[in-house]
Structure 1
Amino acid sequence: MKILFLSRLFYPHIGGIETHLEEISKRLITKGHKVTIVTTKHDESLSDSEIYNSIQENPALQGGDELNADMSSSLGKPRLLRRGGRHKKIVIRRFVQPEVKVYGILKTWLWFYKNISLIKESEIIHVHDVFIWYWPFRILFPKKKVYTTFHGRWGKYPIPLKDIIQKRIGARFSDGVMTIGEYINKYYGIRSDIVTYGAANRFRPKAGKDPKLVLYVGRLDRDIALSLIFEVFRQIKGYKKEFCGDGELKKEAYIYGKVHGFVNPEPFYQKAKYCFASGYLTIFEALAHKCLVFVAYANPLQKDYYLLTPFKNFIICSPNSQDLLTKFIYYSKHHAAAEKKIEAGYRWVKDQTWEKMVNNYYKLWGEIK
């Protein structure tokens, strides 16, 4: 089956949506599907077309998430697996999208019109957030099946009206909708066919974590309550603090600890006992590495982002830096309570695999695996 994904950003850009799309695509190609991803050229040095994450089919990968043991992290470099079987590949097509909004969307539509064979030849069109890219082609190809995954914007609050309108239009004219988080349905006023929260690779947590290492993984931006986490880090004494992330507050982060930028966080998860997280992917990965996870929120949307979830009992969540600090100190002194929460989160996240996520896509598409 030929599948066409549309996403504003993809490899080599780093982020939750990019990782989600990569992990899904890697598994789809092992099942015999042809995957093409259309995305923007966020860096002018990138090529217009690229073959990414080439692998060769291995029957052992068909039954579960063993793929994780062989594929590199989305934050690292792709590996070429040399095993018997038929060659598989992900095709990336890129275009330049001007920043001027009206001009940018017109240029986007023109690019798709010039490359309309991508749409014609695909059996499944699946959009990640940017349904506006597909508006004219929904009219041109009314019988072509198109689906949408909404990942949402959980940092900006109140949500801009144009974002709400665009998502409602996308949901109305999609043949099926998946939302990453129940909060999207609540705040955007849409009804999705499937609600999910993400997945994690099956990591092997290492013993001997450093009880004096505190980690933050995620964007270093104002809109995700990072100031609350900075305040906690400022008051924590006797701990090493490290950041895996980048953003507008990177310089301020240097005041509180070592900043590594956007790097593969796995080696840091393996060492750290405590992880302050922002975003579902970070939470899932931290739980999978047996970290005690802390999150902060600064508005009702962010609160629901974290608490309208099946993992709310496995994380420590607060809108108050002093409360977060108090809870951090409590768990740092009460090891049994900390281990109980860590183990509960680990048991839960072990079942949240990317293979299950692929099955959600099959369910949405109505396809037989």
Structure 2
Amino acid sequence: MNKSIYPVKYHIMRMSTVFSLVFPKNKRILFLVRLFTPHIGGVETHVSKLTEQALLDGNTVRIITSQYDPILPYKSRFLLAGNPHLPTDNLFIYRIPNVPLNDSKISITQKVYLRIHVWWWMVRHIFLFLRADIVHIHDIFWWYWPIKIIFPWKKVYVTFHGFEVGSMPTQKAKRVRKLITFFSTGTVAIGAWIAKWYGTKSAIVLYGASDCKVSSARKRSSSILSAVFIGRLEDDTGILAYIDAIKKQKNIQLSIYGEGKYKEKIIRETKKSKNIVYEGVTTDVCTALQQADIACVSSYLSIADALALNIPVIAYATDELKKDYLCSHPAHGSFTIVESKNELESVLKNWKISKKKRKVVSAQNWVKKNTWKYIYLQYKKVWGFS
């Protein structure tokens, strides 16, 4: 362009080019998450779906996670299934070696070594933080402390996903959450219950989403009801209560998917049972739920999957915290919450599939609104760009 003929237009275009270089539309996003795919879990799914949406939006994503299994590569790309058009050239996963799968069972000496090891890894990879426009941490803020000390002015965001399994929040846990909130630019809470139990307020409260679609090939048996449990085989999911209650029901078949401390016990019990089967672990929750008449689930993502498939949900509240967790869900009126084994047995004994189906239908507006794209747009609001 001849700048002598079009001086104003020339300078506007020049300034536009400079502005786009200084403030690029596409961002470089860095996620920190303790476990990531191929490990299976709610946080892993949440970050995976969020990454997928960020890539579709034209951003570059880097993920720092743990190399919990030595077979996993230190650095790799991740091809997100079902989306062949994703720009995976813009995605890299960095794994911190020698990080145990469960760090709650190691000694104090090992915990001290683990912290030094992780912090030193962060310092050696400080270039990842320097290049990032957005740093977002999913629960494990302690990984980030060295970077926070070196660059106290750098913006950092946090998502609080859950609670300490097996116990009520301690005063120490509450103080840590408040400290993290203080040092964060913005926070996201997975559930409104977090504000009550930890005393922290977040900019955005989310409950997850689902990609499940109802299949036209679904078939139902008029005599035997099919129930599916998906989740961790731990106390807080109510798995033992589901098993005890369904054992007494001759017209219900229970399929169990998951892992946890009760895995071996459940395998032994299911060998003796005619109506309870342990299926192992599944990476395809939608398919596992597709043919179910009842979803025995109590996590936000599994509840969202069941509601998306129009499957009635029975969620077991093992304590007051879990009750608040379930009751704070915007669609909690569309599923059944039980608080004891006797109540669970009574609900199953008097189960009316048509009545429960009508209850699930009322959640469809919530399901349609809460897509993973919607979740990503909420994150963009927290980050301050749209």
Using the size of structure 2 for normalisation, the TM-score is 0.84
Contact kept? 1:295, 1:317, Cα under 8 Å: yes
Q: Find the residue that maps to 1:45 and give its secondary structure.
A: coil
Tell me the residue number matched to 1:261.
280
What does the per-residue CA deviation read over 1:6-36, in whole Å, with 9 as the maximum and x for residues that have no partner?
0000011100000000001011011110001
Contact kept? 2:293, 2:353, Cα under 8 Å: no
Tell me the residue number matched to 2:33.
7
Contact kept? 2:237, 2:297, Cα under 8 Å: no
Of 195, 200, 208, the match for 2:219: 208
Of 35, 39, 49, the match for 2:75: 49
| Worse-superposed segment, 125-134 or 100-109 | 100-109
- 1:217 and 2:230 correspond: yes
Tell me the residue number matched to 2:298.
278
- 1:338 and 2:356 correspond: yes
Tell me the residue number matched to 2:256.
243
Tell me the residue number matched to 2:374.
356
Q: Please, which runs of 5 or more residues in structure 2 have no aligned partner? A: 1-26, 104-109, 271-275
Distance 1:107 1:367, change over 3 A: same
Distance 1:220 1:87, change over 3 A: closer
Contact kept? 1:154, 1:305, Cα under 8 Å: no
Contact kept? 2:311, 2:357, Cα under 8 Å: no
The CA deviation at 1:189 is 1.1
Of 287, 293, 305, the match for 2:307: 287
Distance in 1 (CA, whole Å) between partners of 2:87 and 2:296 is: 42
Distance in 2 (CA, whole Å) between partners of 1:146 and 1:236 is: 51
| Root-mean-square deviation (Å) | 1.8
- 1:16 and 2:42 correspond: yes
| Worse-superposed segment, 308-317 or 221-230 | 221-230
Distance 1:360 1:223, change over 3 A: same
- 1:226 and 2:239 correspond: yes
1:27-176 residue pairs with structure 2 within 5 A? 27-53=53-79, 71-72=81-82, 81=84, 83=85, 88-96=89-97, 97=99, 99=103, 100-153=110-163, 155-176=165-186
Corresponding residue pairs, total:
341
Moved over 6 A (4+): none
| Worse-superposed segment, 221-230 or 107-116 | 221-230
Distance 1:234 1:52, change over 3 A: same
Q: Find the residue that maps to 1:4 and give its secondary structure.
A: strand
Distance in 1 (CA, whole Å) between partners of 2:176 and 2:54 is: 28
- Indicate the structure whose relative CO is greater, using CA pairs within 8 Å and at least 6 residues apart: 1
Distance in 2 (CA, whole Å) between partners of 1:348 and 1:117 is: 41
The CA deviation at 1:37 is 0.6
What does the per-residue CA deviation read over 1:245-274, in whole Å, with 9 as the maximum and x for residues that have no partner?
111112333324211222122222111110
| Worse-superposed segment, 353-362 or 259-268 | 259-268
Contact kept? 1:52, 1:89, Cα under 8 Å: no
Distance 1:87 1:94, change over 3 A: closer
The CA deviation at 1:202 is 4.7
By percentage of residues, which structure has more strand?
1
Q: Find the residue that maps to 1:240 and give its secondary structure.
A: strand
Distance in 1 (CA, whole Å) between partners of 2:73 and 2:142 is: 24
Q: Please, which runs of 5 or more residues in structure 1 have no aligned partner? A: 55-70, 73-78
Tell me the residue number matched to 1:320.
340
Contact kept? 1:296, 1:317, Cα under 8 Å: yes
Contact kept? 2:56, 2:87, Cα under 8 Å: no
Q: Which has the higher Rg, Structure 1 or Structure 2?
A: 2
Contact kept? 1:202, 1:350, Cα under 8 Å: no
Q: Find the residue that maps to 1:361 and give its secondary structure.
A: helix
Contact kept? 1:177, 1:192, Cα under 8 Å: yes
Q: Find the residue that maps to 1:201 and give its secondary structure.
A: coil
Distance 1:339 1:223, change over 3 A: closer
The CA deviation at 1:356 is 0.5
Distance in 1 (CA, whole Å) between partners of 2:153 and 2:43 is: 27
The CA deviation at 1:329 is 2.7
